[in-house]
Structure 1
Amino acid sequence: MAQPRIELDGLLAFPLTPFTDDLELNLDAFAQHVEGHVSAGAGALFVACGTGEFSALSPDELAALLRTARDVVDGRVPVWVGAGGGAATARAGIAAAERGGADGVLLLPPYLVSGPPSGLVDHVRYAVRGNDIPVIVYHRSPGVFDARSAADLLDIPAVVGLKDGFGDVDLMSRIAATVRGTGTERGREFLFFNGLPTAEVSARAYSAIGVARYSSAVHCFAPEIAARFHRALSERDDAVVDALLTGFYLPLVALRDETPGFAVSLVKAAARLRGQKVGGVRPPLAEPNADQLKRLEQVIGTGLSTLEGLGT
């Protein structure tokens, strides 16, 4: 079945998954967190994905998060949800997302094993079989496509886009050009996303190759900074983009790169510093130490001061 045209514009938010002190799911805190994203102007929500600790969640928890998000959002913005893992698990996750009323699915890479690009296309084809819900494929290790195999995704009607978490701009440029160069309506409407951690740092480079959409983890704890950066990028206001990069994003990334897993842990810690009851992270992710938390607080403070200095 052919998919209708999918519109995913504006700031794409990837909510955190709050836990209690004993690392059980905290749906009340999640509902508040989701409302915060929507109230701050998110254009769509992608729940239980990378930032939402998809790999640490059970199927029942995924269903509860989706149900809660849909109840809170109440149709105001699209709600997408993560699925992935091995072929059978990914198919079951997509089916559960469709039953749960999600607007779409972000399909994360296969778990543990890797295969040739043609095998990745077959994996996607297997995972979506029997379901009509729109799917965006997450292009990252170990699920890295080449240009030809990415174009082959056009033959799978449920697949509406590709999100790049691999970080090779040259490869992504060739993928986008090949897909668009098919000259088909599907190729023209196919969506591309920059899904790198702290994607704002690479957003200008991706925008230059026609990949303007990106996921913002910063929207989880500093939506005012995320929104101002997004506006500046869309308006090609390089002065504001550079000010926010040097005054906030680059120091944040330097701290993020100190410890594996901080693309999630540091975001959750930042949300706690700003008063959100999101709890800690499930293992094997690790919490920032006291010194890192102090520096994170300084990074946030400097970022907010930089934002205030920019005016409107």
Structure 2
Amino acid sequence: MASLDTLRTHLRGVTAFPITPFHANLDLNLDGLRHNVDWMIRHGIVTLVAAGGTGELYSLTTEETEAVHRTVIEAAAGRAAVICGVGGKQRESQQLAATAEKAGASGILMLPPAYGPSPEDGLLAFYAGIAQSVHIGVLPYARDWAVFTPEMVEKLANSSPNVVAFKDGSADLRLWARIRARLGDRLVWVGGVGDDMVHTYFAAGAEGFTSSVANFMPWVSQELYDTAHRGDFAATRRIFDDKVAEFYAIRARRRGFEVSSVKAAMELCGLPAGPVRPPLGALGAEEHAIIASVVARLGLGAKTP
């Protein structure tokens, strides 16, 4: 079990979000997951989230989520911090978080509840209940209908001392700035929109970011972090434009393409990924061809033994 300070240190950098590989019949491919986790760690990743949004958490059963958590923890074998994703239902999330803690998780990522329109006190009760079910560090994930005010984040941090960080996926930088001003260095600030806004979030005070392209080019994720961390945002933007932008353009073509585009790139690189589960959608032939051309241009297949 990682200390709270150790987890804070790990979050100040690249946090990779492994996909959950499936077989053609949509069953879990845990051997493929082990392979991918080992590959990412061998290529420099030191912090991973098991069963996050990119890992299709909301399509997994409770038993499958436990299996994904356990598999990533075992595959990491102490070489990387493993943060386990939970969300949707509070009691199920509490159970999953407690089981992950016993299995050796370093932390818990608390994704939004399944039901959208929630009052502030209800949303706080949801997150606080999960946080207080474990002793390891936790971080709330703000996105979609899980909108936090500065006062809410402060109340959550006060009620649950194991809240070590705040992951923002809203892209509302004005609200982000107000929350940071309220909490200061009490929390680690994680840009959670993705690889396309690294320079923007770091310019606004982020200390780490979450990456999906780390699934097939983790060295690029590290380049994005290194340049943003030293404040060379022009270099960060050049790296994004040259190596990442085309993947994100595919994601923007249609809702539900975020994970399927990552999985398509991985398969082209020789990494096990498989299809996505509904309600996500598969790429069309045109999108697949574009990703194939980018993978070839960047020489990615040659880097994925």
Q: TM-score surpassing 0.5?
A: yes
Deviations 1:83-131 (A, max 9, x none): 1112222222222222222111100001023222332212112223342
1:27 to 1:85, Cα distance in 2 relative to 1, 3 A = same
User: What residue in structure 2 maps to residue 277 of structure 1?
Assistant: 272
Residue pair 1:270, 1:296 contacting (<8 A) in 2 also = yes
Residue pair 1:11, 1:41 contacting (<8 A) in 2 also = no
Corresponding residue SS for 2:4: coil
Residue pair 2:137, 2:163 contacting (<8 A) in 1 also = yes
Distance 1:98 1:66 in 2: 10
Unpaired runs of at least 5, structure 1: 181-187, 306-312
Q: 1:292 aligns with which of 262, 284, 287?
A: 287
Aligned-partner residue type, residue 31 of structure 1: R
User: Deviation of residue 214 (structure 1)?
Assistant: 0.3
Distance 1:66 1:114 in 2: 29
Q: 1:164 aligns with which of 163, 168, 178?
A: 168
Distance 1:206 1:177 in 2: 14
Q: 2:140 aligns with which of 124, 134, 137?
A: 137
User: Deviation of residue 242 (structure 1)?
Assistant: 2.9
Aligned-partner residue type, residue 244 of structure 1: I
Q: 1:65 aligns with which of 63, 68, 71?
A: 68
Distance 1:53 1:118 in 2: 27
User: Deviation of residue 224 (structure 1)?
Assistant: 2.7
User: What residue in structure 2 maps to residue 183 of structure 1?
Assistant: none
User: Deviation of residue 304 (structure 1)?
Assistant: 5.0
Q: 2:190 aligns with which of 186, 189, 193?
A: 193
1:66 to 1:86, Cα distance in 2 relative to 1, 3 A = closer
Distance 1:130 1:50 in 2: 21
User: What residue in structure 1 maps to residue 9 of structure 2?
Assistant: 7
User: Deviation of residue 146 (structure 1)?
Assistant: 0.8
Matches within 5 A, 1:96-245: 96-155=99-158, 156-180=160-184, 188-196=185-193, 199-245=194-240
Distance 1:146 1:45 in 2: 27
Distance 1:235 1:4 in 2: 25
Aligned-partner residue type, residue 214 of structure 2: H
Residue pair 2:213, 2:262 contacting (<8 A) in 1 also = yes
Residue pair 1:216, 1:226 contacting (<8 A) in 2 also = yes
Q: 1:20 aligns with which of 20, 23, 26?
A: 23
User: What residue in structure 1 maps to residue 242 of structure 2?
Assistant: 247
User: What residue in structure 1 maps to residue 303 of structure 2?
Assistant: none
Corresponding residue SS for 1:91: helix
1:130 to 1:287, Cα distance in 2 relative to 1, 3 A = closer
Residue pair 1:248, 1:302 contacting (<8 A) in 2 also = no
User: Deviation of residue 238 (structure 1)?
Assistant: 4.0
User: What residue in structure 2 maps to residue 308 of structure 1?
Assistant: none
1:30 counterpart = 2:27: no
User: Deviation of residue 7 (structure 1)?
Assistant: 1.8
1:291 to 1:115, Cα distance in 2 relative to 1, 3 A = same
Distance 2:229 2:89 in 1: 37
Distance 1:87 1:102 in 2: 19
Distance 1:205 1:189 in 2: 22
Aligned-partner residue type, residue 7 of structure 1: T
User: Deviation of residue 232 (structure 1)?
Assistant: 2.2
Aligned-partner residue type, residue 264 of structure 1: V
Aligned-partner residue type, residue 261 of structure 1: G
User: Deviation of residue 230 (structure 1)?
Assistant: 2.2
User: Deviation of residue 189 (structure 1)?
Assistant: 3.5
Aligned-partner residue type, residue 176 of structure 1: R
Aligned-partner residue type, residue 103 of structure 1: S
1:303 to 1:235, Cα distance in 2 relative to 1, 3 A = farther
1:207 to 1:285, Cα distance in 2 relative to 1, 3 A = same
Aligned-partner residue type, residue 74 of structure 1: A
CA RMSD, aligned part only? 1.8
